[in-house]
Amino acid sequence: MINVDELRQMSPRQRAELSHALAALDDPLPPAEPDLPAGPLRRTLALVVIIGGCLSLAAWIGVLAVTLPRYYHTGGWRGAWVGFDIVELVTFAATAWAAWKRRQVVIACLIVLATLLCCDAWFDVTLDLRTNGFWLSLLLALCVELPLAALALLVARRLLRLNIRAVRRLRGLAGPVPPLWKLPLYGMDTAGFRTVIPEPCVPVQPAELGLAGGSGRDRPAGTARRQESPAR
């Protein structure tokens, strides 16, 4: 059995490979989530729907920009804004509860809260344009709503990176966390968790790390090698 002194004599790369091998033994790679588009066909259909939605929305924006009147009197004004503020209040409360309980759902709550705050700032400023309340709406947007939205997004980003770093450590991956836009999405591939791990990092046989037939002290540095990735 490897003791603490032998672990200290290993290189950081060897310790990372050992952690990766132990994690693979204790927690095998899970299958893809059944409720996510894991297959190539479903993933293609999802992308087609998203791209089609973007094109349709862009065309609709052009139509609205040309056809909508500059001023319009509408009903239900009180209900629209009171209802929006109620939703915003519920989101604030849900975010506070999730943060107090330290639940993962706080990340989603923060993103939703930031979105609502940005919408609130946008509609307050644009709808109060050329009215007596414009400067107050602009001040609230710049000093309260938009800074709170930016803070919520920054906290959500930090929590995501902390979770990813913890998972990478469990899988024996050292080093800084890549940017979120570079990380593959877990559950969107039949390989499951392997979508989070870079391709060169594959499970290492315990015998290559000195777990059987000798200790790490008896092996020269760099002996622990990765296996060849199986052909797919």
Overall residue count recorded for the chain in this entry? 232
Percent of the chain with pLDDT over 70: 68
Global confidence as pTM: 0.65
Concatenating the DSSP letter of every residue in 82-149 gives: HHHHHHHHHHHHHHHHHHHHT-THHHHHHHHHHHHHHHHHHHHHHHTTTSTTHHHHHHHIIIIIHHHH
Q: What is the pLDDT of residues 148-183, one digit of tens each?
A: 999 999 999 999 988 888 877 766 666 788 888 887
Contacts of 10-16 with C-beta under 8 Å, sequence gap 24+, read: 10/216, 11/221, 11/222, 12/174, 13/174, 13/224, 14/209, 14/216, 14/221, 14/224, 15/172, 16/172, 16/173, 16/174
What's the rounded Cα separation, in Å, for the pair 119 and 4? 55
pLDDT at 224: 41
178 close to 164: Cβ distance less than 8 angstroms: no
Q: Which of 35-49, 81-95, 170-184 has the lowest mean pLDDT?
A: 35-49
- At residue 17, does pLDDT exceed 70? yes
- pLDDT above 90: residue 207: no
